[in-house]
């Protein structure tokens, strides 16, 4: 197992303080030599662009240390995984191609984007990673409003977009975001005042649409 730590210390006071830590190690149980890089922040997480830069720089350094194996690079706040829009997402190094890829590029995810009169829509065709069994495909929809809509309008938009694609034999999840349609880290998922976030899910086997996790909405024909 190889391990390196990168620690940035504050020296304004007599005692040093960790801001972030970078670890690089074997994936537990891995038989193919895969490794994982973890960028962990302590305290305040920097702006998304800064997190992206730090993660990429750390992965590039890891590749110099051990570029003959595949590497997954992830960011954390303490024990919690960072999520969009805190940063743009994890990165992956593929040793065969000698490339650093986003998760979408790794999965070769197909993305379609279009506009309506009220909001923008981004549809992503997702699939399980190569080698994962059983293989599965699904659709993820981001409904992006430039300004925050009313809660009923937000859910209606999510339902409308699910109906447009529900003829496919894949599960669908539609999330509502507010912000910049062209920059992932400049938009945030809309919160529901009743609790949680605004999203809907569709199950292709039952054709049921659920609000949030378990609130039944309708069954599509």
Task: Categorize the per-residue pLDDT at 34 as very low, low, confident or very high, splitting at 50, 70 and 90.
Answer: confident
pLDDT of residue 33: 72
* Highest mean pLDDT of the ranges 1-10, 13-22, 137-146: 137-146
Q: Which of 9-13, 43-47, 180-184, 205-209 is least confident? A: 9-13
pLDDT per position as a tens digit, 61-106: 999 998 899 999 999 999 999 988 899 999 999 998 899 999 877 7
d(CA 41, CA 47): 12
pLDDT computed for residue 28 by the predictor: 74
Cβ pair 51, 81 in contact under 8 A: no
Specify whether the CB–CB gap between 27 and 65 falls below 8 A. Answer: no
DSSP string, 83-106: -TTSSS--EEEETTTTEEEEHHHH
Average pLDDT across the chain, whole number: 86
Confidence of residue 4 (pLDDT cuts 50, 70, 90): very low
The predicted pLDDT at position 132 comes to: 65
Is the per-residue pLDDT at 118 higher than 80?
yes
The mean pLDDT of 193-204, rounded to a whole number, is 94
| pTM strictly above 0.75 | no
Q: Where are the domains positioned within the chain?
A: 6-106, 110-219
């Amino acid at each position: 197992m190889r391990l390196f730590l990168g620690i940035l210390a504050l020296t304004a006071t007599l005692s040093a303080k960790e801001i972030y830590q970078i670890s690089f190690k074997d994936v537990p149980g891995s038989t193919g030599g895969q490794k994982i890089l973890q960028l962990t922040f302590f305290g305040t997480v920097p702006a998304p662009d800064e997190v992206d830069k730090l993660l990429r720089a750390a992965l590039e350094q890891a590749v110099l240390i051990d570029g003959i194996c595949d590497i997954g690079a992830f960011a954390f706040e303490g024990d919690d995984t960072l999520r969009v829009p805190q940063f743009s997402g994890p990165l992956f190094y593929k040793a065969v191609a000698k490339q650093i890829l986003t998760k979408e590029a790794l999965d070769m995810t197909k993305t379609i984007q279009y506009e309506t009169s009220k909001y923008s829509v981004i549809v992503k065709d997702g699939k399980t990673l190569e080698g994962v069994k059983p293989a599965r495909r699904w659709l993820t929809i981001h409904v992006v409003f430039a300004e925050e809509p009313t809660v009923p309008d937000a859910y209606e938009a999510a339902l409308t977009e699910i109906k447009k694609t529900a003829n496919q034999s894949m599960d669908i999840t539609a999330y509502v975001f507010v912000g910049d349609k062209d920059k992932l880290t400049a938009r945030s998922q809309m919160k529901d005042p009743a609790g949680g976030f605004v999203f809907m899910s569709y199950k292709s086997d039952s054709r049921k649409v659920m609000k949030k996790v378990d609130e039944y909405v309708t069954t599509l024909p």
